[in-house]
Amino acid sequence: MTLMSLGLVRGLVGQVVGTLIGFALIIIGRLLMGYDDPWYAEGAWALGSVFGTLGFLVGVGAMDDWFQWMVGRFPPIHHGPPKGKPAWTRYFGVDYNHKIIGIQYGVTSLVALMIGGGCAVVFRTELARSGLQFLSPELYNTLIGIHGWAALASILLGVGAMANYLVPLMVGADDMAFPRLNAFAYWINVPAIMLLLGSLVMNWDSGWTFYPPLSTRGSVGYQLAFYSIYMIGLSSILGSINIIVTMLLMRPKGMSLFRMPIFCWAMLATSLLQMTATQTIGQAVLMLSLERALGMGYFDPVSGLATATPNGDPILFQHIFWFYSHPAVYIFVLPGLGIISEILPVFARKPLFGYRWIAMSSLAIALVGFLVWGHHMFTSGYSPYLRIPFMLSTLLVAVPTGVKFFSWLGTLWGGKLTFPTPMLFALGAISVFLIGGLSGPVLATVTTDLYLHDTYFVVGHFHATIFGGFVFPFFAALYFWYPKITGRMYNETLGKIHFWLMTPAFWMMSLGQMTVGTMGMRRRIADYEQALGGMINDPVTVVRDGANVLISHGLGKVEVGHIIITIAGFTIAFSVLLMIYNLFNSLDVGELAGNNPWRSRSPEWQIPSPIPEHSYPTPITVVGEPYDYGLAGSTYVSMTPAPGGDD
């Protein structure tokens, strides 16, 4: 076996070759058009990013079968590990099995999480004390931008991991509706992450929101970031179409929509958002790229012809950007909230309270989510008449979200609760999401938002929402399905240490961020005034040898906040590394888990762990309600085909 037989390695080589082809096209094109200097960085990196991604996909082999189809051959779907290679190699190349793709998504998600978290640890250290210690303002801004997009990529990959692994299993399907498209949608993320890392080297300083006119000027690293996001978005769109078709058309006999495991409802709502809203972020970054490379006047107000013809408008960008980026928050949290609803009944041994309400609330959140984007723009200078409608629609989101909270409480009420790690993380998620939820209306209300808009209060609110709505539930899911995926148990003690480190640290971090925000700490800024919010102890000077000597620098109140936030941030980062160690180490040393350690009713727990290549030997039949835990004699799925019918 050689290195080049790994799809990933071939893909990376392909990306380099593709990038060089993109460069060459620009150089040749400009020479043909008679330019003196054929090298044009903006155009070269834009085209290089696109061709590099294509090169990766060709190299890894994600389009092999489509090329075959073009010349009239129909290769069968390949099952099982690649011939003549060790079994582990299938994780590093194109594989069509949804369980393999789900694991690929999951591991890539953790890699992106470490990139995003790593950036945060670096600039958090810088922020711990006032004054610039070791970062330049440019690098600081690049780091917060990469932190944002790497974390968002990690979340989208995590959503993809759960959706790909779980949805076909939960609906009893052998695989996704379009396995080739599924593999393609995964692999396009890898060159995208490479582009994001490349942009780190080349700098871009607008933060993750890319607001023009800042983003239409400045260093060329933007182009790489734009196409990274474009490709991640494309993956979202293709993946969500696959999920919806799988869920709507591949359910087994007896599984009506209201008998699907509740996570499927969450993924249905999520996929509808992913499939539609993602187009606008793709369009937004494409327009920025074209504006930079060709001077097209979409957003920069001074880019146009003189006189009476219209020019670009930066507010337009904000509309298009937030039309995706608000619903994006629901793309992140709806699957997570679905995981909470999935896990609680198992460890409460009670039916899920208000199944239909939960299912409908996911759809309602998705729907209302389209109508609220303007709450990010209260201070942007758009028409004041738009403020009130956007405020009201945003406050409306609290209703379906509240439905979920009441359902969780109702499920827990009177249950026979046990607290293994997944349950702890589900409960931790609720506590953190509550912090995020309660701080939301303060920002949705125009009068208070005008004061809090550009402060750390927003940072605190956002991170609580995302950690409560996605990160905690995702970790719960990792621990919960780990025995199903690997056949072995993770180390419960390490899992509990992870939880008890991360949860209080997160409360401190999030509440700390809100506190320094109300004290006047602005976001997206590399440094702050030490005296902001007042001083705890004043600088003391003494006279020594006839000169004034400073003996204490004093400590600002905001500074104390930042020190606490930084310590909390480090604690969270350490606890996550502990989890990653636990998950990898337990692959070898974990105890054998058996088929159904949690006594779940869901179909995937009724088959062996780890799951064989073809998950269900015969089609399953649904004969009861999914969450009737504790009801004597009730069954959800029958693993043998229903007698009689021949369909």
Partner 1 sequence: MSAHVTAAHGAAHGAGAHEDSHGDGAHSYAIHLQHSRLGLWLFFISEIFLFGALLAARFYLWRDDHGAIVRPELDQVVGLIVTGVLLLSSWSMNMAETGMEYDDRRTFSIGMISTFILGSIFLVGVMIFEWGLIPFPGYTAHLKPWDGAFGAIVFGMTGIHALHVLSGLIFIAIVWRLGRLGHYSGEQHWGVEACAIYWHYVDLVWIFFYPAIYLIGHAVHH
Contacting positions for Cu ion (CB under 5 A):
326
**Residue 106 to residue 433: CA distance in whole angstroms:** 22
Q: Least distance in Å: CB of 376 to Cu ion?
A: 5
Q: Least distance in Å: CB of 165 to partner 1?
A: 20
Residue number with CB closer to partner 1 (319 or 522) = 319
Residue number with CB closer to Cu ion (450 or 631) = 450
Q: Binding partner of residue 551 among partner 1, Cu ion, none, CB under 5 to 8 Å per kind?
A: none
Q: Least distance in Å: CB of 492 to partner 1?
A: 41
Q: At what angle do helices 398-412 and 355-369 cross, to 10 degrees?
A: 160
Q: Binding partner of residue 283 among Cu ion, partner 1, none, CB under 5 to 8 Å per kind?
A: partner 1
Q: Least distance in Å: CB of 391 to Cu ion?
A: 12
Residues in contact with 133: Cβ distance below 8 Å, sequence separation at least 6, in sequence order: 125, 126
Residue number with CB closer to partner 1 (183 or 427) = 183
**Residue 160 to residue 165: CA distance in whole angstroms:** 8
Q: Least distance in Å: CB of 443 to Cu ion?
A: 9
Residue number with CB closer to Cu ion (326 or 387) = 326
Residue among 50, 23, 195, 180 nearest 112 (CA): 195
Residue number with CB closer to Cu ion (183 or 432) = 432
Q: Binding partner of residue 309 among Cu ion, partner 1, none, CB under 5 to 8 Å per kind?
A: partner 1
Residues in contact with 340: Cβ distance below 8 Å, sequence separation at least 6, in sequence order: 404, 408, 426, 429, 430, 473, 476
Q: Binding partner of residue 412 among Cu ion, partner 1, none, CB under 5 to 8 Å per kind?
A: none
Beta bridge partners of residue 552, listed in sequence order: 540
Q: Binding partner of residue 280 among partner 1, Cu ion, none, CB under 5 to 8 Å per kind?
A: partner 1
Q: Binding partner of residue 244 among Cu ion, partner 1, none, CB under 5 to 8 Å per kind?
A: partner 1
Q: Binding partner of residue 190 among Cu ion, partner 1, none, CB under 5 to 8 Å per kind?
A: none
Q: Least distance in Å: CB of 37 to partner 1?
A: 18
Q: Least distance in Å: CB of 331 to partner 1?
A: 14
Measured on CA atoms in the order 599, 602, 604, 607, is the torsion positive or negative?
A: positive
Residue number with CB closer to Cu ion (188 or 464) = 464
* Position with the least CB separation from Cu ion: 326
Structure token pair of residue 412: 């827990």
DSSP annotation of 524 reads S
Tell me the residue type at 620.
Answer: I
**Residue 341 to residue 325: CA distance in whole angstroms:** 25
Q: Least distance in Å: CB of 309 to partner 1?
A: 5
Residue number with CB closer to Cu ion (158 or 374) = 374
**Residue 176 to residue 181: CA distance in whole angstroms:** 9
Tell me the residue type at 602.
Answer: S
Residue number with CB closer to Cu ion (98 or 326) = 326
Q: Least distance in Å: CB of 235 to partner 1?
A: 10
Residues in contact with 318: Cβ distance below 8 Å, sequence separation at least 6, in sequence order: 211, 376, 377, 380, 382
Residue among 218, 234, 68, 219 nearest 153 (CA): 234
Q: Least distance in Å: CB of 646 to Cu ion?
A: 51
Residue number with CB closer to Cu ion (101 or 328) = 328
Q: Binding partner of residue 639 among partner 1, Cu ion, none, CB under 5 to 8 Å per kind?
A: none
**Residue 33 to residue 31: CA distance in whole angstroms:** 5
Residue number with CB closer to partner 1 (66 or 413) = 66
Q: Binding partner of residue 177 among partner 1, Cu ion, none, CB under 5 to 8 Å per kind?
A: partner 1
Measured on CA atoms in the order 15, 21, 23, 26, is the torsion positive or negative?
A: negative
Residue 530 C-beta-side C-alpha neighbours within 13 Å: 13
Structure token pair of residue 114: 């470490």
Measured on CA atoms in the order 294, 300, 302, 306, is the torsion positive or negative?
A: positive
Q: At what angle do helices 179-187 and 98-127 cross, to 10 degrees?
A: 20
Residue number with CB closer to Cu ion (401 or 600) = 401
DSSP annotation of 467 reads I
Q: Binding partner of residue 291 among Cu ion, partner 1, none, CB under 5 to 8 Å per kind?
A: partner 1
Q: Least distance in Å: CB of 234 to partner 1?
A: 5
Q: Binding partner of residue 181 among partner 1, Cu ion, none, CB under 5 to 8 Å per kind?
A: partner 1
Phi/psi region, residue 236 (left: phi>0; alpha: psi -120 to 50; beta: rest), is alpha
- Interface residues with partner 1 (CB under 8 A) are 50, 54, 63, 65-66, 69-70, 72, 74-77, 177-181, 184, 188, 234, 237-238, 241-242, 244-245, 248-250, 275-280, 282-284, 287, 290-291, 294-298, 303-305, 308-313, 316, 319-320, 323
Residue among 425, 437, 486 nearest 464 (CA): 437
Q: Binding partner of residue 326 among partner 1, Cu ion, none, CB under 5 to 8 Å per kind?
A: Cu ion
| CA-CA-CA-CA dihedral for 630, 633, 638, 642, to nearest 10 | -150
Element (H, E) at 547: strand 547-552
Tell me the residue type at 550.
Answer: L
Residue number with CB closer to Cu ion (231 or 329) = 329
Q: Least distance in Å: CB of 453 to partner 1?
A: 23
Please check whether residue 511 is in contact with residue 571, taking contact to mean a CB–CB distance below 8 angstroms: no
